[in-house]
Structure 1
């Protein structure tokens, strides 16, 4: 008979859309966040960039600082982190955030999914996260 429609990916990305340049992404992020303390002031613009920004160390620093202050943007953060493979700073920030008693179970779940994905990207399928040393090891 008929085929069921495909289910769209849940990371919020449009596969037909190209990533923006790092310079363009930095400029848009700078206009979307306020200074001291850094907070997202234009949520739509910020989320737009998170879903399209390329790998960039400056953007990553900003995103890691914003992570604990904005649990409402966890999907956008996770989408941006999906650009990266194993990255110690991402795992450390995720573990720090989990230790801070995140009140939302959805946010905790997404952070654990992120850590599991990063831990599973190693050479060995038996990779684990050691919460005491806060590292990923095979």
Structure 2
């Protein structure tokens, strides 16, 4: 399991009927069925189908990673989003910046891989 294999190829998606309105306000200008998933009448229009069973959810996670990366530092965090999008992710980033007591800047030297699930975890530092 890796970012490259399991997440990075998730495409943007949208209702095909919404595309003309989006393009009229200079959004989705490069969208096509070659680089995005088109949806109409609850059906995927792309001949090859989805790249992942959960491609829509994976793309939402990619959006969140990209949006939160704009904070300027890599994050070790949990993210739980429901129907999130760029606007909500932006609100989250602003809330993080406004609440400095809700996060801590740590060195990558203080990270290790947990034996439990193979997920990164903070190593306790300065605690005996």
Check whether TM > 0.5.
no
Q: More strand per residue: 1 or 2?
A: 2
- TM-score by length of structure 1 reads 0.24
Which has the larger share of helix? 1
User: Scaled by the length of structure 2, what TM-score is found?
Assistant: 0.25
